[in-house]
Each structure stands twice: as structure tokens, then as C-alpha cells.
Structure 1
Amino acid sequence: MKKIVTILGARPQFVKGAVLSRVIQKYTEIEEVIVHTGQHFDANMSAVFFDEMQIPKPKYNLNINGLSHGAMTGQMLEKIEDILLVEKPDAVVVYGDTNSTLAGALAAKKLHIKVVHIEAGLRSFNMQMPEEINRILTDRIGNLLSCPTEIAVSNLKDEGFDNFDILIEKHGDIMKDAVEFYSKLSEEKSTIIKDLSLEKNEFVLATIHRQENTDDENKLVNVFSALEEIHKTKQVVLPLHPRTKKMLEKYKLQPHITFIEPVGYFSMLELLKNCSLVITDSGGLQKEAFFNKKFCVIAREETEWKELVDNGYATITGTNSEKIIKHFQQFLKKSKGFNEPLYGENVGEKIYESILKLIKE
């Protein structure tokens, strides 16, 4: 039997990884060993999280977190290498753009083990973002690059990837499979809408956590000024990220919106399904808004998901208060079908077939 080692480091990666794990268990042609680097310490990721989400528990948990980028990536590289020497997999699978992603890819490549990068080809074209560095380097040393969109494929071709001995395939976005699967469970697993006494389409879901926004006082003031203004006419519900909380306290800001504690994945899905629209600086939430047929205001200067903007499902405002309010108002009046097939179908199955082909060669 062929074997793969999957490297995961953050809760969204586990949600995506669960899609592929279900397909692997269905066909039983591949043994999967899961490594949790511990990069994002998340109190929600208890044994209950794995049971409720139907996610295989990791065989290894490295508990590496709370360090600088260099120290974290270095320690992960060392420990993942030790695991790969023991497990001797035919391929290593990594997701997205975290330090765990790069460390897993580097460890595998240096041991001449094939690398599969899921969510390959995404670009913000902002080299100030550590995520951009991680994804570019991981793509370059990958053997199979699983792209979520045509734009991702084009990005790789523009960078000369056609000249490398790398397999580039457009499979679609694996998160779409995850949202479709978990949406069937979230209503029975989460009572957040009832607990917060929220009405369908009567609130805005907001998340602000990106370091470039939280650590800049002017940007933070501008974003929350806009959210406060919106809150006067439409309740704004914001799960408060620890970093954002810390910086609001540092700058002595007390915005009058509805703050709630960070929520689990099922509760976030219920908030998405029931909100009127989304305001966020998160990359993943932009797509999840689309999957749940919600417009999205992006409080960043760029997005990796350009097709959402190009097709009118999202708009980039940066942290400009006036722009955030203006586009919030425009989206409230806008009607659109959300029917364009931007992110594929049965993505997990397609990725599985490509991995199987890769490791059988």
C-alpha cells in the first residue's frame, strides 16, 4: 500500500484536509499519516473538535507555536524530517501558505520525497506577507500543484512554471467540498443564532485579525469606525481574535459593535448562512462567503481570490472607512445568483486521483 504524510498546522487546514481524508478512507488504496505541527494553538481543537468534525486524529502532534517565523519554521523542519525518516512516505501533502506548509515541503524535498501542494498558484503580489513567501517557495519545490482556479494556473505559467518538471492541475477549491459537507451538520451542531438572538439577514458578520491591520493604529481605527457606523443601522457581529483584542486594548479603542468570543467551525458556518453580508480581512472567509451566497467587503489592499472581485461577488476597500460603508450599502441593495462555477465540483476526488497517479509512477 502506498503512503502519504499530510502536514497540517491550522484549523482551516484540518477542515480542508478532512475532505481528502474521507476520500482516502473510501478507496483504501493509500495509507495517510497526519502530522499536526501545532502552529496555531486553538482551544477549539480538542478531541471533541476531531470527533464532531469527523476528522482523523493526527498520529503526531509537534506542539510548535508562539515563536518567530524563523524559529518556528526551523523547528518544524527538523521534527518533520525525523518523522519522514521513520514513516518513509511516497509523498507529502501540504495545504495553503503557513509556516507548516513550507516546513513540510522543505523537509520532504530534501529527502527526495514527492511534494503535493494543495491551493497552489495563489498570489497576493504582496511580498510583505509571510504567506506570500511561503506559497511561492512551496510551489517551486512541489511535484504536483493542485490549483483552485484558472487564475492560479495562470499565475504559475506567468512565473515560468511550464519550464519546470512540475505537474500543474486545476482541480478546484477543496474548501467548497468542505463547506458543502459541513453545512449539512452545522445546524444541528451549533445553536449560535438562537443563543445570540440573531435574525436571518439582519446582521453583518465581520472578522478583522490580519497583522497588517491590527498592528497599525490608523488602519484599526478606520476599520472599526466603519463597523461602528454600519452597526447603527445593521447589527455587526464580530468574533474577536486574540490579536485584535490585544491591539484594541493597547490603543484604548472600545467600538460599539457586538463582539463575541472566537467560534468553532460549525458556528461560523451558521453565522455565514444567516448573515446579510460579510466584512473581513480573512482570505478563507472571502470564499466561504461566496459558497454561502453572501457578498463580501474585503478590508485589505489585495486578494488572492481575484475572481470574486472580477465577477462582482466581492470588493476591495482596504481600511478606508468611507469605502467600507459605501460598498456595504451597495451590496445590501444588490441581487445576484451566485451560480457561476468558480471553484469546481468533487474537488477532493480529483485531487485524490492525481495523487494516486503521482505516487504510482
Structure 2
Amino acid sequence: MNVLLVAGARPNFMKIAPIYRASLACRSVRCSIVHTGQHYDQEMSGTFFEELEIPQPAYSLNAGSGSHAAQTATVMVAFEEVCLKERPDLVLVVGDVNSTLACSIVAKKCGIEVAHVEAGLRSFDLAMPEEINRMVTDAISDHFFVTEESAVDNLLREGKPAASIHAVGHVMVDNLLHQVECLSRQDQSLLNGFALKEQARPYLFLTLHRPANVDCRETFSGIAEALNQLAQSRTIFFPVHPRTAKMMREHGVNLSDKVVLLPPLGYREALYLWKDAEAVLTDSGGLQEETTALGVPCVTIRENTERPITVELGSNVLAGTSPGGILAGFEQSLAKKDTARIPPLWDGRAAERIWKVLTQGEGHDHPLT
């Protein structure tokens, strides 16, 4: 089986890495990694791939940034050439970025089967570009690999055949547990965040980048007000996304001196900081899941989430974007910590289950309860 694994940005590689590693145990499978280059990232050096224990991409499409339409079109044109050359049996896409949508469409038009990892997640908010990418990709996929029960329900409600929906767990958690193990063997005093972490306990960890949160001056200012109140009693480590840094300057957003502004961090450096935080505040989808997997309280600075299992079972709280909501959400997340649970099948073996489905036809049922 000739398979193309598609990644569009650095977080996607965290998801395909365990899939690639697990493929090495399947003699009938040959995987090639395709990096669409949707986001330029100077951190993605040779060391980056070494840490993930995967090879450099077989194909780099260098799509670059641009509007959603321009970026999607660029990826589609470049990926079509790869498909015509490789003639793969399967294209496997992950998550909800523009590259996921673009490569799925190209594959189907070339008569190639598509497998979607993290299928069925829904925020029901069509103002989110990611929601459109998820819905369209699922509309044309052949294999649906899901992380939680809500995704199964969504796909069945949308008319997808039950035999094509496979509960496998979460490849992001596969990678997370792998990286935690790697950290345990590493000299942590060599990490950039070591001194910061030793000097500030308890501390919070923050990520903030969604346009809905940082592009609007009023919304961003309200979030900053809540952060400054939290910073009165604890340090907040904040690796600042380039988009967020730009909007902070344009809006004149001022943060407390106890909100420590950091450059964008590598995956392992960020994990080293947030895994021992009192709580994580984020508008990211992935961090909601990763904190749930490690039992770290999480405050999601959004009005909705496509990952409801993290709220239902984990210590994640959907706080909204108002100062009062964020502060209340922080207290609620701490209170939920003692009763939080890890969702079924989030055990680090999702990638193995994916290959069992694809190579052996196993796993047609979806017991996630």
C-alpha cells in the first residue's frame, strides 16, 4: 500500500509522526510524507524531524501564506503533480487546516481514497475557517478516524456509513506521551525554559492566536484585562504568536510585567513549561486535548469548542472571552482537576489502531464509552 501522509504546518507533524512511526511495523505499507508548506516555520530544521523520529518530507510543496483561496489553490496545483507521479493507494490527512481540505479534494478527483484523522469534530461555527475545512473534508473522505464520541454522532447524523467510522483514540496524544517520555530522559537543565520554571511556581501558561480573539481591539483588551488580574498573584508564561504580537502593537494592548512574553517555542520546550503549570489558558484546539490527556486544568478562551469531550470528562472549561468569564473559568478549571478523567482510547496507541483498520480491516465498531 502506497500512502501519502499530508502535513500543512508544524502542529500537523505532531499528528503524522506517530502514524509514520507505526507504519514501519507494517510490511505492506510504504509511507511518504508531504509537507505542503502552508506555514513557513524556521523552527522546522533537521533537528525538528529528528526529535519526532521521522524523515525529512519526501515532497515539500512550498505553498506559502496568502488568502484562504490562494493558499488552497496553490496546494491543490502542487499536490496534483505529486499524486500523478506517485499514484498512491491512499492519501491520509489530519486535522482541519487548508492543506487538509486541498489535498482531500485533489485525491478524490484523482480517484484516490482519503482517510481523515480527527474526523467528525464540529464547533458548529461557520465563521471558523477550520470548521468549513472539517466539514468539506468529511464530506468526501472514505475512512473516518475519530477521537471522541461526539465525532461519531456527528458523522452518523451527516449520513456517513457506520462501517467507515473508526474509534481509534488520538494520535496527538500518541505524540504527547512519546514526547513526555523523551523529556524524562533529557537533561532538562539544558532547556531554554528551565530557569524560568524554577523561579516561578505556581505559574500559568498562555497561548493566544485566533483572529476572533486578537484582531478585535475590544475583545483583545478584555482578554488582557483578565490576564492582568490573574498576573497579580502568579506569573504567566506567554509564547507570543507573530500575528498576536502584531495586533498587540496595533491595538496598544498592555500586559503586566508578570506576563512573561516569550518567542514562539518548539514543541518540547512548550511542553516542558505547560505540563507543570497550575493551569493553561488557550484558544488552541490541540492544547485542550493535550491538557486533558495529562490532567492539567485548561481555560479555553473561546465561545465554542469542537472538542466537547475535554469539557465533559477533562478539566477544560469553556470560558468565553469576557474578563469575568475567563476569571470564573480559571477557578472552575482548578475545581474540576480532582474529578477529571482521560477519554477512552487516549492511551498512546491510536496510530497502531489506524493501521490495523487500513491493512487488516479491523476496528469497524466504535466503542468510545
Q: For residue 161 of structure 1, what is the aligned residue in structure 2?
A: 160
Shift of 1:337: 5.0
In the alignment of these two chains, the number of paired residues is 355
SS of match in other structure, 1:74:
helix
Q: For residue 79 of structure 2, what is the aligned residue in structure 1?
A: 80
SS of match in other structure, 1:92:
strand
Q: Name the amino acid aligned to 1:134.
A: N
CA deviation map 1:212-261 (0-9, x unaligned): 11111111001111111101111111100000000000011221111111
Equivalent-residue separation in structure 2 for 1:223 and 1:234 (angstroms): 16
Equivalent-residue separation in structure 1 for 2:277 and 2:192 (angstroms): 12
- Determine if contact 1:14/1:55 at 8 Å carries over to the other structure: no
- Equivalent residue in structure 2 for 1:356, among 350, 355, 359: 359
Q: Name the amino acid aligned to 1:114.
A: E
Q: Determine whether 1:253 maps to 2:253.
A: yes
Equivalent-residue separation in structure 2 for 1:302 and 1:338 (angstroms): 20
Equivalent-residue separation in structure 1 for 2:18 and 2:337 (angstroms): 31
SS of match in other structure, 1:278:
strand
Shift of 1:52: 2.1
TM-score (norm 1): 0.94
| Structure 1 range deviating more: 117-126 or 317-326 | 317-326
Shift of 1:312: 5.2
SS of match in other structure, 1:156:
helix
Q: Name the amino acid aligned to 1:202.
A: P
SS of match in other structure, 1:196:
helix
| Structure 1 range deviating more: 268-277 or 307-316 | 307-316
- Determine if contact 2:317/2:333 at 8 Å carries over to the other structure: no
- Determine if contact 2:118/2:145 at 8 Å carries over to the other structure: yes
Q: Name the amino acid aligned to 2:327.
A: I
Shift of 1:201: 5.2
CA deviation map 1:270-296 (0-9, x unaligned): 112211111110000111111221111
Equivalent-residue separation in structure 2 for 1:175 and 1:305 (angstroms): 13
Distance 1:291 1:83, change over 3 A: same
Shift of 1:335: 4.1
Distance 1:312 1:149, change over 3 A: closer
Q: For residue 322 of structure 2, what is the aligned residue in structure 1?
A: 320
| Structure 1 range deviating more: 77-86 or 24-33 | 24-33
Superposition map of 1:328-339 within 5 A: 328-336=330-338, 338-339=340-341
Shift of 1:197: 4.3
Q: For residue 222 of structure 1, what is the aligned residue in structure 2?
A: 222
Please, which runs of 5 or more residues in structure 1 have no aligned partner?
none
- Determine if contact 2:292/2:342 at 8 Å carries over to the other structure: no
Superposition map of 1:1-361 within 5 A: 2-162=1-161, 167-187=164-184, 188=186, 191-198=191-198, 202-256=202-256, 257-311=259-313, 313-336=315-338, 338-345=340-347, 346-357=349-360
Shift of 1:304: 1.0
| Structure 1 range deviating more: 208-217 or 193-202 | 193-202
TM-score (norm 2): 0.92
Equivalent-residue separation in structure 1 for 2:325 and 2:133 (angstroms): 31
Task: Supply the RMSD in Å over aligned alpha carbons.
Answer: 1.7
CA deviation map 1:181-218 (0-9, x unaligned): 11111351752342324358510001110111111111
Equivalent-residue separation in structure 2 for 1:287 and 1:266 (angstroms): 16
Equivalent-residue separation in structure 1 for 2:341 and 2:355 (angstroms): 26
- Determine if contact 1:222/1:321 at 8 Å carries over to the other structure: yes
Percentage of identical aligned residues: 36
CA deviation map 1:43-89 (0-9, x unaligned): 11111111122122101111112111111111111110110110011
Equivalent-residue separation in structure 1 for 2:3 and 2:322 (angstroms): 45
Distance 1:150 1:232, change over 3 A: same
Please, which runs of 5 or more residues in structure 2 have no aligned partner?
362-369
Distance 1:212 1:335, change over 3 A: closer
- Determine if contact 2:313/2:341 at 8 Å carries over to the other structure: no
- Determine if contact 1:201/1:274 at 8 Å carries over to the other structure: no
- Determine if contact 2:313/2:343 at 8 Å carries over to the other structure: no
